Structure 1
């Protein structure tokens, strides 16, 4: 039996929904303000279409997050310097964390929505597990670092969406300063000097 391809209108609707949700999360004051009804209206589709395509709000937020993050994941895993596999592990760790921080700074509402989207713990989410595995794998290549598993959790905590929102949104910390502080922190964890700007 051949696998059915999604209808063109279904693919079009999915793209419209993701674009509408993306725009709403960029403009929102709080991610809780964005409802499924808002997304359906902005995308010009019925709520039934939305629920059939994504299941629920958690599914929609997860799909949007994956779509936005996928190019960054690809660049981190296979891209050119400074993120490529040939880079020393200490620099790869710093570059990976910087890429994640920049993504969360650019997508604060979406990142907050995902990390708070009806889960008992953000650590059980698929995206967290992928980033933790990638970071742990690189950390295990750092000479003298004894526990890549814990270090990966500790470093990822520094780019949690709620912390990013607190520092950038509530305290108004400039993005460049946050990136420099993160590089300095990672360098101290890895016992290496931070990269020069």
Structure 2
């Protein structure tokens, strides 16, 4: 049994904080099918953009039945998230185990800032795929395992700065601007630069310092 990052209370092993996103153990033929499907999907996205992602066409290109694609990935959102996984695993490894300030070893304020700035960059790099994944299902962003990991990571760090605060709510509030549809609207319609988004986060974080004191370690 492990412990919740934010509260220190025991929690079941299924909610521990490993890097999320790697494929589960599987038979050799299933693993081969997965690789072929993801290769076909990645090629389709690279050649024609995320909006062209089609379950039927991916199945045809990969040489598998469309039912296999649906059983394995559920829907187009699930397939899009699977294509995203490689970058996601790298990102999670960096903030859980990498060098500071993104990884362990820096103070909580520095780590929160580094995490949010890095998440802005990751969202920018894969915005098209994230839009496909999140818009195909209203709950896709929250059902996908990485959101809970982000929330718990931020809640832990926020608790070190403002232990009296509702850190889970604050974590959700900090993650909300990076929902793909809002971020895409700000970038494409609002004309906001990546630097402006990051500066906005810095302003939000400046307001999280404890009243009358400096942030905790």
**Is the shorter-chain TM-score for this pair beyond 0.5, marking a shared fold?**
yes
Match of 2:177 in 1: 158
Match of 2:87 in 1: 68
- The change in CA–CA distance for 1:184 and 1:118 in structure 2 (over 3 A counts) is same
1:77 is aligned, of 96, 103, 126, to 96
Match of 1:17 in 2: 37
* Unaligned ranges ≥5, structure 1: none
Q: 1:111, CA displacement in angstroms?
A: 1.3
RMSD of aligned alpha carbons? 3.0
- The change in CA–CA distance for 1:16 and 1:183 in structure 2 (over 3 A counts) is farther
Q: 1:124, CA displacement in angstroms?
A: 4.5
TM-score, normalised with respect to structure 1: 0.78
- The change in CA–CA distance for 1:21 and 1:170 in structure 2 (over 3 A counts) is farther
Q: 1:153, CA displacement in angstroms?
A: 0.9
- Report the 3-state secondary structure (helix = DSSP H, G, I; strand = E; otherwise coil) of the residue aligned with 1:82: coil
Match of 1:59 in 2: 78
Q: 1:87, CA displacement in angstroms?
A: 0.6
- Report the 3-state secondary structure (helix = DSSP H, G, I; strand = E; otherwise coil) of the residue aligned with 1:140: helix
1:112 is aligned, of 127, 131, 151, to 131
Cα deviation code 1:91-148 (max 9, x no counterpart): 1111111111111110012212222332447444422211111110111111566221
Q: Runs of at least 4 residues of structure 1 off by over 6 A?
A: none
Q: What is the aligned length?
A: 188
Contact in 1 for aligned 2:161/2:208 (Cα 8 Å) = no
